[in-house]
A = this chain, B = another copy of it.
Amino acid sequence: MSDTLGVARPRLDAPEKVTGATRFAADGYVHGLLHARPVLATEPHARIRGFDTDATLAVPGVVAVLSAADLPLAGTGTDRTSEPLAREEVVFAGQPVALVVAETEAAAEDGAELLVVDYEPLEAVVDVEAAMEPGAALARTVEDSDDEGGDLESVHGQVDKGQEDDAGEQLSGNVLDRVTREQGDVAAAFAASDAVVEATFRTPWVYQAYIEPQVCTAWLEPSGTLVVSTSTQGSFVTRRELARAFDLPLDRVRVIAEPLGGAFGGKFALVEPLAVGAALALQRPVRLVLTRSEDFAATNPASAQVTHLKVAARADGTLTAIEARMIVDRGTNAGWGVEGATSLLVAGPYRWQAHDLRGYGVQTNRFTFGAYRAPGAPTAAFALESLLDELARELDLDPIELRLKNAVVEGDVGVSGNPFPTIGAVEVLERLREHPLWAQRNSLPDGEAVGMAAGHWPGAMEPASAVCRVDADGTMTVVTSVADMSGVNSGFAVIAAAAFGLPPEQVRVVTADTASAPYAGASGGSKVTYTVGPAVIRAAEAAREKLLAAAAQELEIAPGDLEVVDGVVRAVGAPDRSMTVQEVASKALRFGGRYEPIEGHGGSAQTSGAPSVAAHLSHVRVDRQTGEVTVLRHVIAQDVGRALNPALVEGQMRGGAVQGIGWALFEQLDHDEDGRLLTGSFLDYAIPTAERVPEIDTLIVEVPAPDGPFGAKGIGEAPVVGAPAAVANAVARAAGTRLYELPMTPPRVWQALRS
């Protein structure tokens, strides 16, 4: 086992991916396939008067033009799954209003271009703050009469909503949700503090920018079973959502989670209802592959936020009070919002004496927002960690020391009201402090600086199960329903190998579909390794029991006196009395065999979270002439519990840091003042390309999670959280002035330098 865990190994899917052998959801051939092309609203807010379909239907090969009324939808909910095509009311420019379905992709595209939609424009709500004011125009005028509603919130959140809000504020009907968390006398705490800082922070809509645009193929088997082959983060949740939206029995829907070409939170039952609705309406297989422009315009990016934050400390650096008013632009996502998460996470992994945290979910006519790696966290950390640096500056304290002084440890009660479980905030900050770059920060050339910031992600939980099966050749198959995102399957392989006693290269992992797979939730929330991993361990242990029972009879040694090492069952202390796993398995898996198959099932239901903390150093240069910021070097230290496969762990850390640099410097989905998207392609929307990404040092910190598989935690989200703030803190030092809005583009930096 010592050779199994903690060893850097390639991802299991790497050979297939780098040789182009992986079949993604757009690659499968389906006989009689029709191709759908969505027609996207050109108006941000409008009533649909009607469609002129004549020219479209005249295109050879066009089979149908479908509007919302043509899809066999069950209810009248306004979440994207329930309303995949706008009914009477368009609520954002980019919203699908029709599908043109044709025998070829080209015909569908030609037909879509010719479709005429007659809109009656309505007033567009694009300013999220103005939208909150009493009397503001509403972003949606038709009420959702469907109580069933979308419940994708349950996938992402069920975040504690804090106390009932006091309702003292007068707000418009665009405010869909208010979250309030109060504890202690905040005013008194501010008054008794030695330093108080406050500011308003703004972050834009940010696109997940997965490599593979969203895609789904749906068809009906002759038996009536609906099969959905899709690029999704969760097969069971997609099945549930589709069954709900189209009022189908669960077992009539079979969802196949195909290999993912990236997702980052964005792939949840968004295009599936379009393909499924068309397939059900036309009784033929239908595929929808979004173009990149459609994916920019019609999907569910991270929400823009406005955060008013005020924090204070005593002279010794002890944090006292925090007050936040956080406005989350939900676009038209009536189903759920991140105001709960962001108003929780804005307190960071720190102790406070008093807090007053409010979150507002506000609808506007921009997108429908969705999840994006650590939803609500980077923007919260950007605000908090910026102000912590301001406090350190005012109090003349070392920024890391300030944070260390206040970092939570296990048992500290957070703003959620619950005590923190095991958490590595102190360890991560201490580790970061040791990095040479931190010592070098005061001896850098003019225009350069090092900033630091921390961030954490609490980690989600969901029951899960897994099966382990040993074949007659002595190799093992791990079966789950988990969409292999961020290399989790490769983690399962080492987990199973270690728990069973096989070399990891003799373990493969299969993602089965919803017809037969063990249950697991969607890949997201940094929960897969943490919650499915223990199920894999138990499945491997159950299989190992079968192995030992059989080997005990063959070797005439009690099972308790046997061990399994590297694929060999042997007597403890007498390793020459042994059989290979292959020998045992092949004796069981045959006609007349006398031993049960070497298989096992394991389940898990974590009830204790495992937050991961990551802290960053970012070394930047600010060009005072142009305002351009260059990240010269970046360091990330993260508590991962236990690095099952350091290569994959470092990949997540680097990937998170890079996406955080994107938030910091490049990425923003921008609308014009009427609510039309200005940045609908990679020509307009900048992401950190290889040449803009510096060397990134990764410092793995291991504070084992008591309930994690071999101590491991979910690590996918934490590394992005603090990265934008670290870059911002570096820029503030290098430029001598702070920016409160992301991304820190050259014009903005240039302007800040001049102001």
Residues of chain A touching chain B, judged by Cβ–Cβ distance below 8 Å, are 16, 20-23, 29-32, 154-158, 221-224, 236, 240, 249-251, 460-465, 467, 469, 471-473, 475, 477, 479, 508, 510, 512, 515-519, 521, 525, 539, 542, 546, 588-597, 599-601, 603-605, 607
Instruction: Check if B542 sits within 8 Å of A601, measured CB to CB.
Output: yes
Chosen A-B contacts, 30 in total, with CB atoms closer than 8 Å, are A16-B222, A20-B222, A21-B221, A21-B223, A22-B222, A22-B223, A29-B31, A29-B32, A158-B591, A236-B589, A250-B473, A251-B473, A461-B592, A463-B595, A463-B597, A467-B518, A469-B518, A479-B516, A512-B512, A512-B516, A518-B597, A521-B590, A521-B591, A525-B591, A546-B603, A594-B605, A594-B607, A596-B603, A599-B601, A599-B603
For residue A479, which residues in chain B have a CB less than 8 angstroms away from its CB?
516
Check if A597 sits within 8 Å of B467, measured CB to CB: no
| Contact status B601-A23, CB under 8 Å | no
In the bound complex, residues from chain B placing their C-beta under 8 Å from that of A222 are 16, 20-23
The residues of B that contact A249 with a CB separation of less than 8 Å are 473
| Contact A601–B604 (Cβ < 8 Å) | no
Residues in B neighbouring A158, C-beta threshold 8 A: 591-592
Name the one of B31, B32, B461, B588 contacting A463, with C-beta atoms under 8 angstroms. Answer: B588
Extra A-B contacts (13), CB below 8 Å, given A29-B32, A157-B591, A596-B603? A23-B221, A23-B223, A154-B590, A236-B589, A250-B472, A250-B475, A464-B597, A465-B597, A510-B516, A518-B597, A539-B601, A546-B603, A593-B605
- A240 pairs with B472, CB closer than 8 A: yes
Complex: how many Å from CA A20 to CA B588?
38
Q: How distant is the Cα of A539 from the Cα of B469 in the complex, in angstroms?
A: 15
Indicate if the CB atoms of A591 and B477 lie closer than 8 Å.
Answer: no
A538 nearest CB across to chain B (Å): 9
Q: How far is the CA of A728 from the CA of B141 in the complex (A)?
A: 85
A527 to B, closest residue via Cβ = B591
B508 near A251: Cβ-Cβ < 8 Å: yes
Judge whether B16 and A591 touch: CB under 8 Å.
Answer: no
Closest to A155 in B: B591
With a 10 A CB-CB cut-off, give which of A539, A595, A604, A605 has the most chain B CB atoms. A605
**Which residues of chain B are within 8 angstroms of A512 by Cβ–Cβ distance?**
512, 515-516
Residues of B within 8 A of A463 (CB): 588-590, 593-597
Partner of A591, one of B29, B31, B460: B460
Min CB distance A370 to B, Å, is 15
Q: Which residues of B contact A594 (CB under 8 A)?
A: 463, 605, 607
Distance in angstroms between the alpha carbons of A32 and B29 in the assembled complex: 10
Of the candidates B464, B592, B595, B601, the one whose C-beta lies within 8 Å of that of A467 is: B601
**In the complex, how many angstroms separate the beta carbon of A235 from the nearest chain B beta carbon?**
12
Interchain CB contact under 8 A, B473 and A591: no
Looking at A30, A31, A465, A510, the one whose CB has the most chain B CB atoms below 10 A away is A465
- Taking the closest CB of chain B, its distance from the CB of A19, in whole angstroms, is 8
Cα(A606)–Cα(B600), bound, Å? 18
A603–B595 CA distance with the chains assembled, in angstroms: 9
Contact A477 B519 (CB under 8 A): no
- Distance of A10 Cα from B508 Cα, bound (Å): 39
What's the nearest-Cβ distance from chain B to residue A269, in Å?
14
Collect the chain B residues with CB atoms within 8 Å of residue A464's CB: 597
Quick one: closest B residue to A506, CB to CB? B251
Q: With A22-B223, A250-B473, A251-B475 as known contacts, state yes or no: A465 contacts B591, CB within 8 Å.
A: no
Give CA–CA (A467, B517) in the complex, Å: 10
Find the residue from A467, A516, A539 having the highest chain B CB count within 10 A. Answer: A516
Is there an interface contact between A596 and B465, defined as CB atoms closer than 8 Å? yes
Q: Chain B residues near A22 (CB, 8 Å)? A: 222-223
Q: With A and B bound together, what is the CA distance between A719 and B737 in angstroms?
A: 92
Given known contacts A29-B31, A477-B515, A603 and B597 CB-to-CB distance under 8 angstroms: yes
Known pairs A224-B21, A605-B588; A516 contacts B477 (CB<8 A): yes
> Closest Cβ of chain B: how far from A93's Cβ, in Å?
32
In whole angstroms, how far apart are the Cα atoms of A155 and B542 in the complex? 27
Q: How far is the CA of A39 from the CA of B517 in the complex (A)?
A: 42
A604 x B596 contact (CB < 8 A) = yes
- Closest chain-B Cβ to A662's Cβ sits at a distance in Å of 27
The complex places the Cα of A240 from the Cα of B592 at a distance, in Å, of 16
* Contact with A589, one of B32, B156, B519 (Cβ below 8 angstroms): B519
- Complex CA gap A728/B130 in Å reads 96
Return the 10 tightest CB-CB contacts between A and B, nearest first: A601-B601, A596-B603, A29-B31, A21-B222, A519-B597, A512-B516, A465-B597, A479-B516, A21-B223, A596-B605
Interfacial chain B residues near A21, Cβ < 8 Å:
221-224
Q: Is the CB of A518 within 8 A of B599?
A: yes
CA distance A32 to B473 in the complex (A): 32
A250 to B590, Cβ gap below 8 A? no
Residues of B within 8 A of A223 (CB): 16, 21-23
Residues of B within 8 A of A23 (CB): 221-223
Q: Which residue of B lies closest to A20 (CB)?
A: B222
Of chain B, the residue at the smallest CB distance from A157 is: B591
In whole angstroms, what is the CA distance A688 to B603 when docked?
A: 52
Minimal Cβ-Cβ distance residue in B for A470: B519
Residues of B within 8 A of A469 (CB): 516, 518-519
CA distance A591 to B519 in the complex (A): 12
A20: chain B residues within 8 A (beta carbon): 222
Q: Quick one: which of A236, A597, A600, A605 has the most chain B CB within 10 A?
A: A597
**Residues on B with beta carbons closer than 8 Å to the beta carbon of A30:** 29
Contact A515 B510, beta carbon cutoff 8 Å: yes
Whether the pair B589, A251 counts as a contact (CB closer than 8 A) is no
Which among B473, B516, B600 is the interface contact of A517 at CB below 8 angstroms?
Answer: B516
Minimum CB distance partner of A473 in chain B: B250
Find chain B residues with CB under 8 A from A588 CB. 463, 605
CA distance A364 to B512 in the complex (A): 47
